[in-house]
Chain A
Amino acid sequence: MIDQPRRAVILLAFFVIAILFPYLMRVCGQEYFIGLASRMLIYGIAATSLNFILGYGGMVSFGHAAFLGVGAYVAAILVVSGWSSALLAWPVAMVVSAAVAFLIGLITLRTKGVYFIMITLAFAQMLYYVTISMKAYGGEEGLNVPRPSIPWLNLESDTEFYYVAFVLVCAIIYLMHRVINARFGRVLMAISENEVRMQALGYKTMHYKLIAFVLAGTIAGLAGALLAAQNSFVNPSIMHWTSSGLLLFMVILGGVRSKYGGLIGAIAFLGLEDFAVNIQIDWLANWYPSYSQHAMLLVGLVLLIVVLFSPRGIVGFFANRGGHVHE
């Protein structure tokens, strides 16, 4: 582990930069990046929730984007139907995501290993198909939705939205920190390490896994609602299985089983994606003009390299020695 004082300094530095970020971007005339940063924070929330069940709970869910989609659509439908307050839309989105996570978890958590991965994937894809068939809400084309409102704030402003997202991501990370260090977190980690022995100590392991799964789904639902507001648009591709795969990528890129791994991974990934799509490489443009449409090739290569050579992600890369993060 990086030693405590150095960690505190790095954290403080990031915190300060994050708070000043919109101002800095405005000064540079690069307001576009404020929106990008908001997206990074929102995906950071989603990836953090996935890291909770994956990194600490050992549940490799390949369907996490489903909750992102559920949250996004519930919030969008509410706003489009006239309930434009975020203070209503977002909590309702979370509740519905929790319910969906409960139902899915009830069935999928009975399985293990390879089966669990496949069945979470399948359920997420099922929800994707359901969403596509909802013609009333845009079907495959998607749905435009105005940003909701919060009293005393103007969410239409990219800057204010950014700060809302920032406060939320800080709150979520802190929440996860508390849960991991509490009794529940210990039990979760022990279950992921040796589930049978936990049962042999008297724990009803299915209950704990289900609660963790629902918690993660709820937070992802919040992220989805935020995403719908940020983009002013929802469409089924949010919950396509490749979306779930990219969430997993963010987690492994940032660092599995680390508090900040989800956020770091989201920032790194979205940064990489933005770079790959927008970069101007003149000699490449001469040879193959539409190269930027193949950004996924770069993403795929980076993912492959990270998985093969640096599976502990960015956080793992910077840790001085193999520490037991939770001890």
Chain B
Amino acid sequence: MSTNDFLLKTVNIQKRFGGIVATRNVSLEIMNGEVHALIGPNGAGKTTLIAQLSGLLVPDSGQIFFGSRDISRLSLSDRVKIGLARSYQITSIFRSFSVLNNIALAVQARKGSSYSFWEPVVSDSELFEEAFAYVKEIGLAQRSEVIAGQLSHGEQRQLEVGLALATMPRLLLLDEPMAGMGPEESENLVTLIAKVRERVTVLLVEHDMDAVFRLADRVSVLVNGELIATEVPDLIRSSEEVKRAYLGNDTAT
């Protein structure tokens, strides 16, 4: 693997809100095919960083590259089109649509045109076949007709990941996918990510250290907006600097 085989790279990006520097000179590289975890105490700026990577926010300075392409100013929806998708820490699904219809929306975005005004969607069997394949993959096959608002929290988080997955990304940004999940549900999600990583590069933001150390090839640590370390998990686990950064915070190991 050559050192230039990165999929996503940021070069010295900065973001401030008024007097607060949320992102301070962050240069992060995510290699093709890896699972890269991003950890850090609360308030470190992880969500702001993800927002800049996905296109919701524009960095004040610095650049973001996706492959060889400078995407610093590319819109959110355009980034999805080139293969950069994100799941949300606070569940953001379509509550009045069924599970299957949720996923179908994601599939529809890249298959054929949505400027279709006459043919009823329900007759589009190809669309729903593909959508159902994703529904099965995320483990909700039995619940595919259920209205998303009526799913349990854990199921909603699975759907959350599924939506991003169904856009067929090259890089999947997962923002605390296991937030609020019990041990069994987290286990399901870990299995899913382990399977998905075979075809998708993953940037995983998580507090669940068990999942992080099981899944990640490399771990980056963000503290006060700054990247203080990027190493393989074992080195991170034993690092004094990282422990100090987390002093006073719970780490579930």
- What residue of chain B has the Cβ atom nearest to residue A183's Cβ? B116
Does B86 interact with chain A (Cβ within 8 Å)?
yes
Question: Which residues of B sit under 8 angstroms from A205, Cβ to Cβ?
Answer: 77
The reply to whether B105 and A187 contact each other, CB–CB distance below 8 Å, is yes
Q: Which of A163-222 contact B (CB under 8 A)?
A: 178-179, 181-187, 190, 193-194, 196-205, 208, 211
Q: In whole angstroms, what is the CA distance A84 to B86 when docked?
A: 57
Please judge, given known A-B contacts A190-B105, A324-B96, whether A202 and B114 are in contact too, CB under 8 Å: no
B98 CB, min distance to chain A CBs, angstroms:
7
Q: In whole angstroms, what is the CA distance A203 to B85 when docked?
A: 12
The reply to whether B108 and A183 contact each other, CB–CB distance below 8 Å, is yes
Does A327 interact with chain B (Cβ within 8 Å)?
yes
Among candidates B54, B96, B112, B114, residue contacting A203 with C-beta atoms closer than 8 Å: B114
Q: In whole angstroms, what is the CA distance A184 to B164 when docked?
A: 21
Q: In whole angstroms, what is the CA distance A93 to B230 when docked?
A: 64
Please judge, given known A-B contacts A182-B117, A182-B120, A184-B116, whether A200 and B147 are in contact too, CB under 8 Å: no
Question: Which residues of B sit under 8 angstroms from A197, Cβ to Cβ?
Answer: 88, 92-94, 163
Chain B contact residue count (CB 8 A cutoff): 40
- What residue of chain B has the Cβ atom nearest to residue A206's Cβ? B77
Chain A contact residue count (CB 8 A cutoff): 26
The reply to whether A327 and B121 contact each other, CB–CB distance below 8 Å, is no
Question: Which residues of B sit under 8 angstroms from A183, Cβ to Cβ?
Answer: 108, 112-116, 119, 121, 124
Question: Which residues of B sit under 8 angstroms from A203, Cβ to Cβ?
Answer: 77, 109, 114
- What residue of chain B has the Cβ atom nearest to residue A326's Cβ? B96
The reply to whether A196 and B77 contact each other, CB–CB distance below 8 Å, is no
Please judge, given known A-B contacts A182-B119, A208-B114, A327-B147, whether A200 and B85 are in contact too, CB under 8 Å: yes
Residue of B75, B93, B97, B105 ringed by the most chain A CB atoms within 10 A: B105
Question: Which residues of B sit under 8 angstroms from A324, Cβ to Cβ?
Answer: 96, 147
Please judge, given known A-B contacts A183-B121, A186-B105, whether A200 and B86 are in contact too, CB under 8 Å: yes
Question: Which residues of B sit under 8 angstroms from A204, Cβ to Cβ?
Answer: 77
The reply to whether A201 and B117 contact each other, CB–CB distance below 8 Å, is no
Q: Give B74-94 as 1s and 0s: 1 = Cβ < 8 Å from A's Cβ atoms.
A: 011100110001101000111
Q: In whole angstroms, what is the CA distance A92 to B120 when docked?
A: 30
A100 CB, min distance to chain B CBs, angstroms:
21
Please judge, given known A-B contacts A199-B77, A201-B106, whether A193 and B95 are in contact too, CB under 8 Å: yes
Q: In whole angstroms, what is the CA distance A256 to B196 when docked?
A: 41
The reply to whether B94 and A190 contact each other, CB–CB distance below 8 Å, is yes
The reply to whether A201 and B96 contact each other, CB–CB distance below 8 Å, is no
Chain B residues with a Cβ under 8 A of chain A = 54, 56, 75-77, 80-81, 85-86, 88, 92-98, 101, 104-106, 108-110, 112-122, 124, 147, 163-164, 167
Top 6 nearest A-B pairs (CB, nearest first) are A202-B80, A183-B116, A202-B109, A181-B120, A199-B77, A201-B109
Chain A residues with a Cβ under 8 A of chain B = 178-179, 181-187, 190, 193-194, 196-205, 208, 211, 324, 327
Name 29 A/B residue pairs within 8 A (Cβ), A-sorted.
Answer: A178-B117, A178-B118, A178-B120, A179-B117, A181-B121, A183-B115, A184-B117, A185-B121, A186-B108, A187-B114, A190-B105, A193-B95, A193-B97, A196-B76, A196-B92, A197-B93, A197-B94, A198-B105, A199-B75, A199-B77, A201-B85, A201-B105, A201-B167, A202-B81, A203-B77, A203-B109, A203-B114, A324-B96, A324-B147
